[in-house]
Amino acid sequence: MRSGHFIESYDKLVNLTDNPVKMAWSWILVLVLALAPLVLDSFWTSICATVLITAIGIIGLNLLVGTTGQISLGHSGFLAVGAYATAILTMDYQVPGIIAILLSGFIAAFFGLIVGIPSLRLKGLYLAITTMAFAIIINHVILNAEDITRGSEGFIIDPLQVFGFSFESDASIYYLSLIILVLTVLGALNLMRSHIGRAWVGIRDHDIAAKVMGINLTTYKLLAFMVSAFFAGIAGSILAFQLQYINVDNFSLLLGIEALSMIIVGGLGSISGSIVGVIFIIFLNELVRITTGIFADDGGTMSLYIHEMKGLLYGVVIVLFLRFEPDGIMGKWRDIKNYWSNWPFHH
């Protein structure tokens, strides 16, 4: 426990943090992120933009899985809904890009509501299968509703235009994602310190007790699904603008597993953990790609297996973390912090 630390008003208690050091480091982090594209080349800027976009969706997923305790393997479906909604709205209906991003979030949230309804009756494994079925259905709809989604041919999307400025460069997408990620983090933190976040935690830890405390399980479970899908939809929308070409292969089932591995690695129910998990998994991916590239001397036999290797790696990472550090990297961080703040009186 920190010494000489007193909380003197309720205002201080409800603030995001009462620790000026933590506040300062958070601002420094945002500043460093804002300056990063100036020193990174286009390739790494684009990787970092992917990290930011993924983090938006993963924060959404963690609110549902980590905080509310409702497992979802179907978040690739919500991502796809967001991306295709943006593609269809901007290309076929000429909706301005910025509005399309927001609308894509709401459309995904609507799908979240539909997927959430079975969750009122299902738990654990059964819910996992139901949500996975949703992702499969979305993939089939994309492939077969050719008039709307262009089918297997894929969808070409023009760059995002805002007041005449075109978001074509990697750096511009990076900044767009950074702004939306900061808003997402703030929104999620605000939800967590309000009665909505506490209701979700209550549902996760003991749903019957939560009900007796006056929490309407139907409302709050559906709300969790909708908010989670909203963030995934927003992430999908920006992804569409980043890639400028989407097809069904961007939203495979493996993506849903990858997303789960990110929150397990980072820390279930932790917002900073979501971001750490995304960084860990995406850079692990890059590492695999680079190493297979080095050994691919005969025209890339190794890189042929990269998809399988990725799948294997996610499996190993999930198992190792669940076995040795179920609270993820953030759990480890908390232990280290406790150890040193109580040193030498730790036990």
Partner 1 sequence: MSSLLQVDAISKRFGGVQAVSNVSFDVGQNEIYSLIGPNGAGKTTCFNLISGIFPLSEGRITFDGQDLGRVKTHQLAKLGIGRTFQNLAVFKHATVVQNILVGRHSHMETDLFSCLFFAPNARRHEKAHRHKVEEIIEFLEIEDIRMQPVGTLSYGLQKRVELGRALATEPKLLLLDEMVSGMNAEETEDIARFILDIKDELGISVLMVEHDMGIVMDISDRVCVLNFGEKIASGTPEEISKNTAVIEAYLGHSGGG
Binding site for partner 1 (CB under 8 A): 10-11, 13-14, 187, 190-191, 193-196, 198-199, 201-202, 204-206, 208-217, 223, 227, 269
Closest distance to partner 1 from the beta carbon of 34 (Å): 22
Closest distance to partner 1 from the beta carbon of 338 (Å): 11
Closest distance to partner 1 from the beta carbon of 14 (Å): 5
As given in the structure block, the two tokens for residue 276 are: 């750490």
The Cα-based distances of 128 to 72, 118, 137, 155 in angstroms read 5, 11, 14, 29
By beta-carbon proximity to partner 1, the closer residue of 198 and 332 is: 198
Closest distance to partner 1 from the beta carbon of 218 (Å): 9
Q: Give the integer Cα–Cα distance in Å for 294 and 300.
A: 9
3-state secondary structure the chain: CCCCCCCCCHHHHHCCCCCHHHHHHHHHHHHHHHHHHHHCCHHHHHHHHHHHHHHHHHHHHHHHHHHCCCCCCCHHHHHHHHHHHHHHHHHHCCCCHHHHHHHHHHHHHHHHHHHHHHHCCCCHHHHHHHHHHHHHHHHHHHHHCHHHHCHHHCEECCCEEECCEEECCHHHHHHHHHHHHHHHHHHHHHHHCCHHHHHHHHHHHCHHHHHHCCCCHHHHHHHHHHHHHHHHHHHHHHHHHHHCEECHHHHCHHHHHHHHHHHHHHCCCCHHHHHHHHHHHHHHHHHHHHHHHHHCCCCCHHHHCHHHHHHHHHHHHHHHHHHHCCCHHHHHHHHHHHHHHHCCCCC
By beta-carbon proximity to partner 1, the closer residue of 119 and 285 is: 119
Closest distance to partner 1 from the beta carbon of 270 (Å): 11
Pairing status of strand 245-246 against strand 155-156: antiparallel
As given in the structure block, the two tokens for residue 184 are: 């997402």
The one-letter amino acid code at 318 reads I
Cβ–Cβ < 8 Å for 238, 87: no
By beta-carbon proximity to partner 1, the closer residue of 258 and 327 is: 327
By beta-carbon proximity to partner 1, the closer residue of 230 and 321 is: 230
By beta-carbon proximity to partner 1, the closer residue of 17 and 301 is: 17
Q: Give the integer Cα–Cα distance in Å for 269 and 246.
A: 30
Closest distance to partner 1 from the beta carbon of 336 (Å): 17
The one-letter amino acid code at 66 reads G
By beta-carbon proximity to partner 1, the closer residue of 125 and 208 is: 208
By beta-carbon proximity to partner 1, the closer residue of 211 and 337 is: 211
By beta-carbon proximity to partner 1, the closer residue of 42 and 216 is: 216
Closest distance to partner 1 from the beta carbon of 4 (Å): 16
Closest distance to partner 1 from the beta carbon of 213 (Å): 5
By beta-carbon proximity to partner 1, the closer residue of 80 and 227 is: 227
Closest distance to partner 1 from the beta carbon of 119 (Å): 17
